[in-house]
Every structure is written in structure tokens, then in C-alpha cells.
Amino acid sequence: MAGDWLDEIGFKVERRAISAGVTYVPASPHHRLGVHIGKPVNASCRCDGQHHNRVQSDGDIDIIPAGLDGEWEDDDDCSILRLWLSPRLLHGAAEDLGLDPARITLAPVFQHRDSRIEHIARALEAQFDATSRPDRLVAESLGKALAYQLIGSRFQPKGVPAEQRLSLSQRRRLVEFIGGHLAQDLSLAELARVAGISVSHLTALFRRSFGMPVHQYVIRRRVDRAKELIVSRELPLSEVALMTGFAHQSHMARMMRRHLGVTPTALSRTGS
């Protein structure tokens, strides 16, 4: 489990099997989210003076602020996606959105429904389920998206005008910078500096201007460049993977199957 992301980016995720009975969860310096996965269970929880009974269903979310402990009781075995978010991540996201970080406080919420939070949580799990260290830009983008969603559902951030796009100059600088640094561990902050805007504006305007999120665009550029190098047959596949920013050859193969429907080995054989 890539637990160091909690220090580097501000979040961690893992799937946990919960046995029937009472589970005590001690207080943490980080905010916690629990997303129920699978079959419904009868459950109750006690936290911050609240006692909540419910039928816990797939996708139900409990949000527990930093510093609070709690006790959960389930009448059957179940699974949850447990996410930890550092207060630092939420404060940084608030600044990105033009909000006063001092105003961003979370309260305990039980059996919350938010399809976007659920989608992000499952995407994060998929990233950390991989055998290799997740791509920093992908992990950072998903972590920021989760923080923005938590804040945006409770506060009123300053939005980006619907008609606004990246300028031609900004698009050119980003295309050139990404293309010249595919082998590096790119970050949202770095790309925002290249464009001369905030991270929150970058994530919104990049999607509008390029038709996809930042991390998906970078992955596609890496896949396209890897294809060019593989077809040329000048380098071994392991070296192609490193030169195009993939963790290793298997990571490159997985991304190429996903985006091109073909493996690096097959491309190398056919040369097209």
C-alpha cells in the first residue's frame, strides 16, 4: 500500500474487510471517509455524541472529521473503502477555490450519498491496487478532485466562468512542456505554473480546452510516444517504458491495452 501518499499528496486509500460485531475506530489527525461496498448490512454507529441506526447499502458514505473517534456495529461481515485525507489537502484545495481555509471545517455525516465521491474513491482504489507505484499526476488529480468535491458540496467556491478556456499561448506552453517532460513525475502545481494559473483553474480549463482531464491527456501522450518508439524498433520495451514515464514495462503494457487495444509486444512484431 502506497501509504507515503498521505505525506506527499495528502490522502491514502485501502479496502478493508470488516467482521460482524463492534469495531472501534480511534481518533486520527486526518479526516476519514468510509464507503460501504457490496451487500447491505444492518449497522449502527456512535460518534461525536450522535447515535445513528441504518441499513448500510453499497455506496453509502460516512465522513468523520479529524480528531473524532467512533464505534461501528454491523450485523454481518462487510467491506468498506477507507480513505484518509489530511487537513492540509483540504486547506490547499480551499485556497485553490478562492475560499478562506479557516472556514473549511467538516462535521460528521453518516450514510451520505454522493456519486462523484464514490466514483473517485473507486478510481483511487484501482490506482493503488496496481502492483506499481501509482503515477503521481493521476493520484494527485484524483486526490484534488475528492477534496474539491467535499468542499464544493458544503461551501460556495468561486467558479470559473463557463465560457472561459485556456488561451492559445497557454495551450501551446502546456503541450510543449508535457511533451518535453513525459519521462518525469509531473505534478498539477508544476503544470499550473507553466500555464500561469491556479491549480483549480488549470483542472477546470484544461478539461474544457483539451476535452479530457490533465492526467488522462498526459497518459495519452505517453502512450502515443511509446507507440512511436516501439514501432521504430530501436529500443528494448523496458527502456521505452522508462523514457515515456511509465513505472515499468507492465505498467506501459496495461495503459497501451487500455487506450490502443494492443500490447507493446504485438506492436513490436507488426511494426504498425
CB atoms within 10 A of CB 178: 20
Residue 162 has a pLDDT of: 64
Residues 24 and 135 in one domain: yes
Q: Are residues 25 and 127 in the same domain?
A: yes
- Closest listed residue to residue 67, CA positions, set 34, 105, 101, 100: 105
Query: 222 and 199 in one domain?
Result: no
Give the pLDDT mean for 262-270: 87
Per-residue model confidence (pLDDT) at position 2: 47
The answer to whether residues 14 and 89 belong to one domain is yes
| Angstrom distances, CA of residue 56 to CA of 74, 222, 238, 265 | 9, 41, 46, 46
- pTM of the predicted structure, to 2 decimals: 0.78
**Mean per-residue pLDDT for 156-164?**
65
245 and 207 in one domain?
no
Distances (CA, A) of 223 to 23, 44, 133, 200, 228: 44, 47, 18, 26, 9
Query: Does the pLDDT of residue 136 top 60, yes or no?
Result: yes
User: Is 261 within the bounds of a domain?
Assistant: yes
For position 160, what pLDDT does the model report?
61
What CATH number does the domain containing 98 carry? 2.60.120.280
Give the domain range for residue 135: 5-152
Report the range of poorest mean pLDDT among 58-67, 69-78, 89-98, 251-260.
Answer: 89-98
Residue 10 lies in a domain: yes
DSSP H/E element including 247: none
3-class SS of residue 167: coil
Domain count, the chain: 3
State whether 128 and 189 are in the same domain.
no
Same domain, 207 and 226: no
**202 and 231: one domain?**
no
> Is residue 162 assigned to a domain?
no
Q: Please state the rounded mean pLDDT for residues 49-76.
A: 94
Q: What average pLDDT does this structure show over 28-37?
A: 95
**Mean pLDDT taken over the chain:** 88
Amino acid 156: pLDDT: 56
In a domain, 158, yes or no: no
Answer whether residue 184 is part of any domain: yes
132 and 14, same structural domain?
A: yes
The answer on 203 and 72 residing in a single domain is: no
Measure Cα distances from 55 to 59, 101, 173, 204 in Å: 12, 35, 52, 37
For residue 103, pLDDT beyond 90: no
> Per the domain annotation, does 163 fall within a domain?
no
CATH number of the domain where residue 254 is located: 1.10.10.60
Question: Does 255 lie in the same domain as 179?
Answer: no
Per-residue pLDDT tens for 182-237? 999 899 999 999 999 988 889 889 999 999 999 999 999 999 999 999 998 888 99
Q: With H, G, I as helix, E, B as strand and everything else as coil, classify residue 74.
A: strand
pLDDT for res 11:
87
Q: Are residues 54 and 114 both part of a single domain?
A: yes
